[in-house]
Amino acid sequence: MNTATLTREAQWPGLINPDGSRWHYLDTAATAQKPQVVIDAMMRALGSDYATVHRGVYARSADMTLAFEAARRKVAALIGAQESELVFTRGATEAINLVAQTWGVANLKAGDRILLSQLEHHSNIVPWQLLRDRTGVEIDVCPVTEDGRIDLAAAERMLTPAHKLVSFAHVSNVLGSVLHVEHAVKLARNVGAKILLDGCQSVARIAVDVHAIDADFYVFSAHKLYGPTGIGALWAKPEILDAMPPWHGGGAMIDRVTFEKTTYAPAPQRFEAGTPAIVEAIGFGAAADYVTGVGLDVIHAHETALVAKAREALQAMNSIRLFGPDDSAGIVSFAMEGVHPHDLGTILDEEGVAIRAGHHCAQPLMDHLGVPATARASFGIYSDESDIAALVRGIERTKRIFG
């Protein structure tokens, strides 16, 4: 479909209010709106095309199985991977937990260390703490620089041969700061550590090639990629994935079951117990197609320009404190003097502007910044300068209300 010929209303139905007015949606970092092509693909999968996968011998089941595995292939291709390397999960959170409870339990022990950073999402903190409580591994925390990037110079000083894993966000969900991935991977390799990258905020914004950057694990979610909720992906190097034990037991992940012994299917099926999220996988594949069609270079340039304009407009207001680097990827976090972010978010909602207000599942970073919460405006393919203008108008109204 040539999306350039479609109106905004036709292409992005979620951006139009019931009265036909424009909704200024600036919460894409939390979850992206869905293009009509993704909605249509899921509706067909749920309706006229619907059948189970992998089990049926009838024609529609075979067709749906082909479509399901084609979706895996599309999602894998988005990050430069092969379909056999990509596991469907319920989201990035489950993907990190899967790595912690399979690879982590099998390979880490008391005395080993994991390096995280100060800006990580809770989903890249709590699973490792659960692993620590189970195995006795230790967790170290790399600081961030003054402009909100993971301090790789500090990471280099902190890393030792005892470190077996480095787990960093590719793009911060609060600050939009982009990790220098090649440098981070090199630092991990220097001490013989594996590296996991949280790609939730990166896959929809910048081009990713997991083999080129030499990551060991890469995780992301569909709903931040203009796809549905309830599904995400874990990519791992084939030799690592093949050696990982299963996590959940049940149908679809087995080779043969007897009461005496069970043998398991090869990866990725070994990690996908039970009936999969069929419709969601179709939507995930459609979203990957959509983003690929638009072009990640185009998306990144568009969002970079919007971030620059938003930061310029906010810097002109003496009541606003900005966080993060000037070249953040699609995300602008800020605080307004004398106004709690929740109050600001409420008033902006009255003006038809949707932002995120809170700790963004990054409480350790909030502690570092010295604030309980921030306001966060985040952009997507569908964002434009009218969204920034509406944000500024809403902030000006908030200033008048609070005096």
CATH of the domain at 196: 3.40.640.10
Confidence of residue 280 (pLDDT cuts 50, 70, 90): very high
- Structural domain ending residue among the three candidates 264, 293, 322: 293
| Confidence (pLDDT) at 56 | 79
Residue 38 lies in a domain: no
Contact at 8 Å (CB) between 61 and 51?
yes
Asked if residue 247 and residue 115 are part of one domain, the reply reads yes
Q: Which domain holds residue 328?
A: 3-30+296-402
* Separation between Cα atoms, residue 379 and residue 7, nearest integer Å: 19
153 C-beta neighbours (distance < 10 Å), count:
12
Residue 263 lies in a domain: yes
Whether the predicted pLDDT of 2 surpasses 60: no
Report, in angstroms and rounded to the nearest whole number, the Rg of the chain calculated over CA atoms: 22
Asked if residue 141 and residue 81 are part of one domain, the reply reads yes
| Confidence (pLDDT) at 258 | 95
Asked if residue 184 and residue 116 are part of one domain, the reply reads yes
Asked if residue 384 and residue 269 are part of one domain, the reply reads no
Residue 237 lies in a domain: yes
Which residue shows structure tokens 């990050």?
Answer: 79
DSSP class of residue 320 equals E
| Confidence (pLDDT) at 55 | 79
Asked if residue 198 and residue 60 are part of one domain, the reply reads yes
Q: Which of 24-28, 54-58, 105-109, 261-265 has the lowest mean pLDDT?
A: 54-58
Number of domains in the chain: 2
320 C-beta neighbours (distance < 10 Å), count:
17
Mean pLDDT, rounded, for 181-196: 98
* Separation between Cα atoms, residue 38 and residue 290, nearest integer Å: 8
Mean pLDDT, rounded, for 42-62: 94
Percent of the residues in the chain that have a pLDDT greater than 70, as a whole number? 98
Give the DSSP H/E element, type plus range, for residue 224: none
Whether the predicted pLDDT of 17 surpasses 90: yes
Q: What angle do CA 8, 228, 252 make, to 5 degrees?
A: 150
Type of residue at 254: I
Mean pLDDT, rounded, for 87-96: 98
Q: What is the CATH number of the domain that holds 300?
A: 3.90.1150.10
State pTM to two decimals: 0.96
Mean pLDDT score of the chain: 96
Greatest CA span in the chain, whole angstroms? 74
Residue 186 lies in a domain: yes
CA distances to 30, 119, 138, 170 from 339, rounded to whole Å, are: 22, 24, 39, 31
* Separation between Cα atoms, residue 116 and residue 168, nearest integer Å: 6
Counted residue by residue, the chain has a size of 403
Check whether the bond before 268 is cis (ω within 30° of 0). Answer: yes
In terms of Cβ atoms closer than 10 Å to its own Cβ (0-12, 13-18, 19+), residue 6 is middle
| Confidence (pLDDT) at 6 | 54
Whether the predicted pLDDT of 115 surpasses 80: yes
Give the DSSP H/E element, type plus range, for residue 234: strand 232-236
Confidence of residue 5 (pLDDT cuts 50, 70, 90): very low
Which residues contact residue 85 at a Cβ distance below 8 angstroms, ignoring those fewer than 6 apart?
76, 235, 236, 237, 238, 241, 267, 268
Mean pLDDT, rounded, for 27-40: 98
Which residues participate in catalysis according to the annotation?
Answer: 361
Residue 110 lies in a domain: yes
Asked if residue 370 and residue 267 are part of one domain, the reply reads no
Contact at 8 Å (CB) between 329 and 304?
yes
Whether the predicted pLDDT of 1 surpasses 50: no
Confidence of residue 69 (pLDDT cuts 50, 70, 90): very high
Whether the predicted pLDDT of 8 surpasses 80: no
Whether the predicted pLDDT of 7 surpasses 80: no
Asked if residue 94 and residue 8 are part of one domain, the reply reads no
Mean pLDDT, rounded, for 224-228: 98
- Structural domain ending residue among the three candidates 293, 327, 353: 293
Give tens-digit pLDDT for 131-184: 999 999 999 999 999 999 999 999 999 999 999 999 999 999 999 999 999 999
Mean pLDDT, rounded, for 108-127: 98
| Confidence (pLDDT) at 10 | 79
Check whether the bond before 266 is cis (ω within 30° of 0). Answer: no
Helix axes 36-46, 278-294, angle to 10 degrees: 150
Tell me phi and psi for residue 330, to 5 degrees.
75, 5
Asked if residue 243 and residue 216 are part of one domain, the reply reads yes
Residue 36 lies in a domain: no
